[in-house]
């Protein structure tokens, strides 16, 4: 088995180990119907950020608390609404500023969070939310991973489906 494949499997195993209860929860699964960027749901986006965070720590050989990293990454966008909905239209432009606070409140209502996990969630939009600064390695990693994943999604550089690939060739 190739080294890269081993890495990918190890990361997925760690995400299931530390975030299995979150992944199986109804609320987390309900965010599959909320779109984050282009065609990617909030659920998928959060899983991608958890994966990218773990990948960064492996590549840079950072000694991070894996449990905090995985749980903070999975819950970083736990705002549980679709920010494209008409209900949020007036506040749409402010979503970037206030959703970390909503995510933290929702996550704290359901899970016992460590201080690191709280910091990961509240600071992931830094420097936009300039008062909420990442204060630990884990929070710096998640904010970087989130920006990378969000950019890829917004530019639609994530893997396109077969139909989308065909459509994009026709256009």
3-state secondary structure of 136: coil
Structure tokens that stand for 56 in this block? 């960064």
Q: Using CA atoms, how far apart are residues 149 and 145, in angstroms rounded to an integer?
A: 6
Please report how close the Cβ of residue 73 comes to Fe ion at its closest, in angstroms. Answer: 9
Contact string 14-53 vs Fe ion (x = CB under 5 A) = ----------------------------------------
Which of the stretches 14-22, 85-93, 139-147, 152-160 binds Fe ion when contact is defined by CB under 5 A? 139-147
In this structure, what is the dihedral angle of CA atoms 120, 145, 10, 44, given to the nearest 10 degrees?
90
Which of 14, 68, 77, 153 touches Fe ion (CB under 5 A)?
Answer: 77
| Structure tokens belonging to residue 140 | 């710096």
Spatial distance between the Cα atoms of 70 and 113, rounded to a whole number of angstroms: 12
Residue 87 vs 97, nearer CB to Fe ion: 97
Kind and range of the H or E run holding 35: strand 35-37
Pick the piece of the chain touching Fe ion (CB under 5 A) from 8-16, 59-67, 76-84, 110-118.
Answer: 76-84
Can you tell me which of 14, 68, 146, 153 binds Fe ion, judged by CB under 5 A?
A: 146
Q: Which C-beta is closer to Fe ion: that of 10 or that of 98? A: 98
Place of tokens 């905090």: 68
Binding site for Fe ion (CB under 5 A): 77, 146
């Amino acid at each position: 088995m190739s080294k890269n494949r081993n890495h990918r499997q190890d990361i997925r195993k760690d995400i299931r180990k530390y975030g299995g209860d979150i992944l199986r929860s109804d609320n987390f699964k309900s965010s599959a119907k909320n779109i984050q960027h282009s065609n990617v749901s909030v659920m998928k986006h959060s899983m991608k950020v958890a994966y990218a965070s773990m990948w960064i720590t492996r590549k840079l050989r950072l000694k991070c608390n894996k449990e905090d990293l995985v749980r903070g990454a999975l819950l970083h966008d736990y705002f549980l609404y679709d920010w494209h909905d008409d209900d949020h239209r007036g506040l749409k432009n402010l979503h970037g500023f206030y959703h970390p606070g909503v995510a933290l409140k929702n996550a704290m209502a359901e899970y016992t969070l460590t201080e690191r996990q709280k910091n990961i969630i509240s600071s992931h939009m830094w420097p936009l939310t300039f008062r909420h600064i990442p204060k630990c390695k884990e929070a710096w990693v998640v904010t970087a991973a989130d920006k990378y994943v969000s950019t890829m999604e917004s530019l639609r550089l994530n893997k396109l489906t077969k139909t989308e690939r065909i459509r994009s060739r026709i256009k």
